[in-house]
Structure 1
Amino acid sequence: MTDGEELPGPRSVIDVQVADRDDLLVAFVPEDQPGDGVLVVTVAQDCTGRRIRVPVGDQVELVWSTRSGPRARTAEVLEVVLDGEPTWRLQLVSGTRSAQRRGAVRAEVGLPVVLADGGRTVTGTSLDLSETGLRGRWPVEAGWPAVLDRVTVTLQLTDGSSISGPAEVRRGFPVTDGRLEASLVFLDWPERAQDQVRGRVFERLRHLARRGDL
């Protein structure tokens, strides 16, 4: 099954938990899957975008989002494939169970960000981003937005799509060009929206790693 409940579906962002490591590791699920209890995922990356090494035969824990909450399965590394984007071939060795995802990872990501509050809207740019919130800059209009304001945030992604949801303005301060630099915390965003943001963050980390900037 690839409905998300028993296995992470294609293009899912998954957390990978490895013995003796407590940091956040993330992998992606490609479209093409062999089936028969084998799952292919990209080799997991840490928060700097660096891929980690797990020997063949070792086990990892996979955690992903579903409508009923995070789910997890244990898998054994069967093979490390280095052609193209490096991937693991994993043999699933446990059933599916409830789980808890680990903390958020943040990266410098510049995207158009629209804040809205009733009839008011203002467009700015993000400075960094995670699935729990963002930091950015916006023009200030008659004292709005201000710290503790509740707004609707719309992120314009590079593929032309967008993500919207409620947020609260935190830790704002004016900068020299007359704009407000502020941190926003996302409020009760669904898991799918958080996964979209998490995927964009790790896409940026991969790009920085390829350039040698991490």
Structure 2
Amino acid sequence: MTDGEELPGPRSVLDVHVPDRDDLLVSFVPEDQPGDGVLVVTVAQDRTGRRIRVPVGEDVELIWSSRRGPRARTARVLEVVTDGEPTWRLEPLGSVRDGQRRGAVRAEVLLPAVLTDGARSVEGTTLDLSETGVRGRWTVTEGWPAVLDALTVTLHLGDDRVVSGPAEVRRGFPVTDGRLEASLVFTDWPERAQDQVRARVFERLRQLARRGDL
């Protein structure tokens, strides 16, 4: 089953660990699954968007978010399918266990971002983003926001994807156009929201790689 506990559910974002590699790899679970005990995922990519070669018969470790926190399970590559977006057909092995996500990956990306605190609200733009925080520029309203302020940040990730949650201003300094450049740390964000941001970061890294900017 793919309920998010024993196996990652459709549209999940996966960390993938493969033998002899220590870098962060990412994969996604397509909506359509065969339902025959096989798990289909996209072929893992590194932070530059390059697909990773893993031989049939090799084992990989999958880590994903669930209601209980990060989960991990070993799976064996049964087949590499190259029609359309390359995918792996995987055989889940053993039992699921608690997992640990790898470090956050950051990308330079410009997205609309709104800060709110009660009736106060300022609009701005992100400069770079990870699932643990954001750096951006916002209009200053009567000295707000300021360092150590707790507030809510809403990110517009594109394609009608919007995530929102609490954050704290960690660093800030004025810039010449009257706005504040600030770094915020997300606090107590649900795993689902972090996954959405993580997916958007990797999407941006793939764009940069295609342009040769990485």
Partner of 1:31: 31
* C-alpha separation in 1, matches of 2:154 and 2:116: 8
Partner of 1:54: 54
Unaligned ranges ≥5, structure 2: none
Deviation at 1:82, TM superposition (A): 1.8
Partner of 1:190: 190
Equivalent residues in 2 for 1:111-126 (5 A)? 111-126=111-126
- Residue 38 of structure 1 aligns with an amino acid whose one-letter code is V
Deviations 1:94-122 (A, max 9, x none): 22111111111111121110001122100
SS of aligned partner of 2:205: helix
Deviation at 1:37, TM superposition (A): 2.2
Root-mean-square deviation (CA, aligned residues, Å) is 1.2
Equivalent residues in 2 for 1:174-189 (5 A)? 174-189=174-189
Deviations 1:150-201 (A, max 9, x none): 1100111212231111001112111121111111100010101101111111
Deviation at 1:35, TM superposition (A): 2.5
Deviation at 1:84, TM superposition (A): 1.6
Deviation at 1:18, TM superposition (A): 1.3
Partner of 1:157: 157
Structure number having the greater strand percentage: 2
- Residue 183 of structure 2 aligns with an amino acid whose one-letter code is S
Deviation at 1:53, TM superposition (A): 1.5
SS of aligned partner of 1:142: coil
* C-alpha separation in 2, matches of 1:36 and 1:209: 35
* C-alpha separation in 1, matches of 2:101 and 2:157: 24
Partner of 1:140: 140
SS of aligned partner of 1:93: strand
Kindly, what percent of the aligned residue pairs are identical? 80
TM-score for both structures, normalised by structure 1: 0.95
* C-alpha separation in 1, matches of 2:201 and 2:31: 20
* C-alpha separation in 2, matches of 1:171 and 1:145: 11
Deviation at 1:205, TM superposition (A): 1.7
* C-alpha separation in 1, matches of 2:161 and 2:89: 31
- Residue 17 of structure 2 aligns with an amino acid whose one-letter code is Q
* C-alpha separation in 2, matches of 1:168 and 1:136: 13
Unaligned ranges ≥5, structure 1: none
* C-alpha separation in 2, matches of 1:88 and 1:161: 27
- Residue 202 of structure 1 aligns with an amino acid whose one-letter code is F
* C-alpha separation in 1, matches of 2:60 and 2:23: 13
1:201 aligns to 2:201 (yes or no) = yes
Partner of 1:100: 100
Partner of 1:128: 128
TM-score for both structures, normalised by structure 2: 0.95
- Residue 113 of structure 2 aligns with an amino acid whose one-letter code is V
SS of aligned partner of 1:195: helix
Contact 2:47 2:206 in 1 (8 A): no
- Counting matched residue pairs gives 214
Partner of 2:63: 63
